[in-house]
Structure 1
Amino acid sequence: MDNGPFVCTGCALLCDDITVELQDSRVTGVNTACLKGVSRMKGCASPMPCTVDGKTVDENTAIKEAARILKEAKHPLIFGHGNSTLEAQTKSIELARKLGAHIDDTSSFCQGPLVEAILNGKLPTCTLDEVRHMADVIVFWGADPSHSHPRHLSMYSYFPRGKQRQRGWEEDRTAVIIDVRRSDTAAVCSDKLYEIPVGADPEFMGALLSALSSKVPKTSFNMDPKRILELANILKKAEFGVVFAGLGMTYSLNSLDPLFSLMNKLNETSKFHLIPMVGQYNMRGFDHTLFRETGHINRVYFGGEKVEHGPQQSVVELISNDVIDAAMIIGSDPLASLPGAIAKKLSKVPLITIDPCENLTSRVSKVTIPSALSGVECGGTAIRMDGVEVVLKQIIDTKKLADEQIITRIMEEI
């Protein structure tokens, strides 16, 4: 077996410098990774059993039952994919086409709009490696990577001494935090915290746009105009700026127009890029894969004469309107992340869960099929939060099928 280094699938940073300690074909120690990564790579605390109607069965029986449920459903949904490889995602889309099914992923209610804007060329972006080597101004907007991506600051964005930033954070980098509270990231990155009220991101973007245009900025929450002008001056002087956009920003924007205007203005005088702070290790991978095949990143229905796309095809709307009559969940736990009333409705639909670990969704599923843990028990490829494709290597052997193989077997049964 390969001795590494390996890629950690604990989050969308996909750190590629991980070494492990093995004993009896188990990962007993993980070096270099953060706590999230260590937990992920050591495997499931509660591995998911293979079941039908709560009873333990063999793999073949579970796959046959999953195929029957999907085949008999008039409006099946295939959902999840954030913790699945590109290969599994491609097979999942193929299965959705074959079934005439609805297909969606978690980007439908988080970072999807930003990824879509990047893929359509509406937002300039860059790689994390470029950030490490060239970025001199970094803006964490509605993001707290100290918790969400623990190695972000040390690997790429703030502390590293890059090729063009040899003096690192002490002299060569300025970090700005725009958030609704003093996060742990703000505590680390000096005193450039711009604390705004919840939902005030569009207004603050407008005020910053005024400051960048040499106008006196005004806000309803009475932030000192001098501070906003000071920030505008920092941004104007950036040689290579990056905005790391978190969920705090995404959820505050009903439209991306204020963000487009701000980024366009910034790029009149400096060079700015945006990278969405994607959480699950391969959520962006699904968006790229579906976009390549359909021109859409999520919310797709293959049941009509043409591929249908729109808000009505989102997982939230489909469940709210009682459209779907079966769902296959892959590498996700929607019952833990969807609003309570919607999660309750989903739990009443025949569910098939494919995942290495037991979770809230699997506990109410009609069929559960345990899969190999990607990046540990099986290999594949994934796309990092910045759009860079990364190869995952297998570390240990397992008898469990990879999610790609499970989906292929289900398709064969159908």
Structure 2
Amino acid sequence: MSEYYVCTGCALLCDDIEVEIENSKIKTVHAACRKGVARMKGCSDPLECTVDGEKTDVDSAITKAAEILREAENPLIFGHGNSSSEAQKLSIGLAKKTGAYLDDTSSFCQGPVIEAILQEKLRTCTLDDIRHKADVIIFWGADPSNSHPRHLSRYSYFPRGKERQRGWEEDRTAICVDVRKSETAVICGANRFYQIPMGGDEEFMDALVSALSSKVPKTSFGFDAKRILELANVLKKAKFGVICVGLGLIYSLEDLEPLFRLIDKLNEVSEFSLMPMVGQYNMRGFNQNLYEETGFINRVKFNSETGEAKHGPEFSVVESLREKSVDAALIIGSDPLSSLPLSVSRYLADIPLITIDPCRNLTSSKAEVTIPCAFGGVEYGGTAVRMDGVEVKLKKILDTENLPDAEILRKITEAI
């Protein structure tokens, strides 16, 4: 019998992956999407272990990293989305010990939705619920055809679920709301694509709430009221609906109140849940682990003496770098120099910087200490949390000389 593995290419954590190994390397990957294949085949440019640009051994790099964090008054620890839950918990412990700022990418993406779900302010479901029950799926500001290539085929639109045996042909309706005609919008079809102007999400939501209340909807951008009423009728008839929330929607809203209003109204007339379209394979895990420890999902600053966590926007990676309130940084499995605006991230190059990552990137090129780690779900196992909050076990596929990031973090913590 074939052995199946979990793909850590995104937060779907598909668990039906088969691999062929040749000369201690993965030669072929079966069932994974293009992102998963790239992830499982590893780095094209592996990171080397260095201190001050010179190659060194792992123990020396860990000793130097511990020295930097020990001497810093306000270190920053950032990343975590591509780490196992075990590593994340050790990172939280390290942040407590060093009085660090602690944050992850949810600070500027899916964080508000995940926080509302954990606080039980928004109704959610599992991916398996979607596959087996969902008859109406809305992709709002999301393009899973590119961001999560197996989402439509494995969970949301095309599969034949227990209660959706006739699949997409008769049993499912897919709807796309976006500012552009994405590949997902093309799949949904012209009649099910609702193109709105940039920043028009709140207004469209309120118009839809009016339509769900049997009122004639209005929008300042002149959207056809008849089409909104038709959409409302489709949503009212849903037996199990879900809104897949993408970054396009989150970035458009100043806060989640319009989304709360829409979901509350939908659940008065039908049954709808929300699914955050999380990108990195274990970002949801970090949010849950930190929430269980502190009551917050991100943007915290620890007191090294009491272990107390303070929370606020001033403790986010963006604000802490913009205000230059941190004096050293440990970056784990992330590349903020590439993803954050230069006006914010350039400060990283001016402070002692440590990078733990399997691959070389722009941030590692500026780091005083670089420590290569094993690939999660490929070169070490552990646990992770899918975008829907379901915990998944990861299995090791290949051996490597690199330590898992959890082991590196444990050694740094012990050395401080």
Same fold (TM over 0.5): yes
Q: 1:82·1:331 contact (CA, 8 Å) conserved in 2?
A: yes
- Which amino acid letter does the alignment assign opposite residue 335 of structure 1? L
**2:326 aligns to what?**
324
Higher mean C-alpha deviation, range 198-207 or range 139-148? 198-207
- Which amino acid letter does the alignment assign opposite residue 275 of structure 1? M
**1:27 aligns to what?**
26
Structure 1, residues 282-321: CA drift from partner, whole Å, max 9, x if none?
Answer: 0111000000000000001112753200111111111111
- Which amino acid letter does the alignment assign opposite residue 283 of structure 2? M
**1:378 aligns to what?**
380
**2:75 aligns to what?**
76
Structure 1, residues 220-242: CA drift from partner, whole Å, max 9, x if none?
Answer: 11010000000111111100000
**1:395 aligns to what?**
397
- 1:234-245 map, 5 Å: 234-245=234-245
Secondary structure of 1:79's aligned partner = strand
- Which amino acid letter does the alignment assign opposite residue 55 of structure 1? E
- Which amino acid letter does the alignment assign opposite residue 153 of structure 1? L
- Which amino acid letter does the alignment assign opposite residue 259 of structure 1? L
Name the TM-score, length of structure 2 as normaliser: 0.98
Secondary structure of 2:223's aligned partner = coil
- Which amino acid letter does the alignment assign opposite residue 271 of structure 2? K
1:137 aligns with 2:145: no
- Which amino acid letter does the alignment assign opposite residue 310 of structure 1? G
Across the aligned residues of Structure 1 and Structure 2, the Cα RMSD in angstroms comes to 1.0
**2:45 aligns to what?**
46
- Which amino acid letter does the alignment assign opposite residue 117 of structure 1? A
**1:339 aligns to what?**
341
**1:12 aligns to what?**
11
**2:63 aligns to what?**
64
**2:231 aligns to what?**
231
- Which amino acid letter does the alignment assign opposite residue 33 of structure 2? C
- Structure 1 ranges of 4+ moved more than 6 A: none
| Offset of residue 3 of structure 1 | 5.7
Structure 1, residues 60-91: CA drift from partner, whole Å, max 9, x if none?
Answer: 11000000000000000100000000000000
Secondary structure of 2:220's aligned partner = coil
Inter-partner Cα distance in structure 2 for 1:21 and 1:381:
23
1:166 aligns with 2:150: no
| Offset of residue 188 of structure 1 | 1.1
**2:94 aligns to what?**
95
- Which amino acid letter does the alignment assign opposite residue 325 of structure 2? V
Residue 412 of structure 2: which of 407, 410, 413 is its match? Answer: 410
Q: 1:102·1:303 contact (CA, 8 Å) conserved in 2?
A: no
Matched residues, percent identical?
Answer: 64
Inter-partner Cα distance in structure 2 for 1:159 and 1:296:
36
Inter-partner Cα distance in structure 2 for 1:210 and 1:347:
51
**1:186 aligns to what?**
185
Segments of 5+ residues of structure 1 without an aligned counterpart are none
- Which amino acid letter does the alignment assign opposite residue 76 of structure 1? P
Residue 364 of structure 2: which of 362, 365, 379 is its match? Answer: 362
Inter-partner Cα distance in structure 2 for 1:314 and 1:101:
11
Name the TM-score, length of structure 1 as normaliser: 0.99
| Offset of residue 405 of structure 1 | 0.1
**1:210 aligns to what?**
210
1:126 aligns with 2:128: no
**1:288 aligns to what?**
288
**2:303 aligns to what?**
303
Equivalenced residue count is 413
Inter-partner Cα distance in structure 2 for 1:345 and 1:31:
42
Inter-partner Cα distance in structure 2 for 1:90 and 1:170:
44
**2:176 aligns to what?**
177
**2:273 aligns to what?**
273
Structure 1, residues 331-367: CA drift from partner, whole Å, max 9, x if none?
Answer: 1111111112111122222110001111111111110
Secondary structure of 1:308's aligned partner = strand
Q: In the superposition, relative to structure 1, how do residues 97 and 3 fare at CA in structure 2: closer, same or farther (>3 Å)?
A: farther
Inter-partner Cα distance in structure 2 for 1:236 and 1:336:
43
- Which amino acid letter does the alignment assign opposite residue 299 of structure 1? R
Inter-partner Cα distance in structure 2 for 1:123 and 1:375:
30
- Which amino acid letter does the alignment assign opposite residue 47 of structure 2? M
**2:258 aligns to what?**
258
1:114 aligns with 2:113: yes
Secondary structure of 2:278's aligned partner = coil
Inter-partner Cα distance in structure 2 for 1:115 and 1:346:
28
- Which amino acid letter does the alignment assign opposite residue 211 of structure 2? A
Inter-partner Cα distance in structure 1 for 2:71 and 2:207:
55
Inter-partner Cα distance in structure 2 for 1:385 and 1:336:
24
Secondary structure of 1:17's aligned partner = coil
- Which amino acid letter does the alignment assign opposite residue 43 of structure 1? G
Inter-partner Cα distance in structure 2 for 1:257 and 1:357:
40
Structure 1, residues 149-202: CA drift from partner, whole Å, max 9, x if none?
Answer: 001000000000000000000000000100001100011122200000111111
Q: 1:178·1:195 contact (CA, 8 Å) conserved in 2?
A: yes
Inter-partner Cα distance in structure 2 for 1:347 and 1:198:
34
Inter-partner Cα distance in structure 2 for 1:349 and 1:298:
22
Inter-partner Cα distance in structure 1 for 2:372 and 2:229:
54
| Offset of residue 28 of structure 1 | 1.1
Q: 1:20·1:29 contact (CA, 8 Å) conserved in 2?
A: yes
| Offset of residue 24 of structure 1 | 1.6
Structure 1, residues 96-146: CA drift from partner, whole Å, max 9, x if none?
Answer: 001111100000000000000000000000000000000000000000000
Secondary structure of 1:123's aligned partner = coil
- Which amino acid letter does the alignment assign opposite residue 230 of structure 2? E
| Offset of residue 4 of structure 1 | 2.3
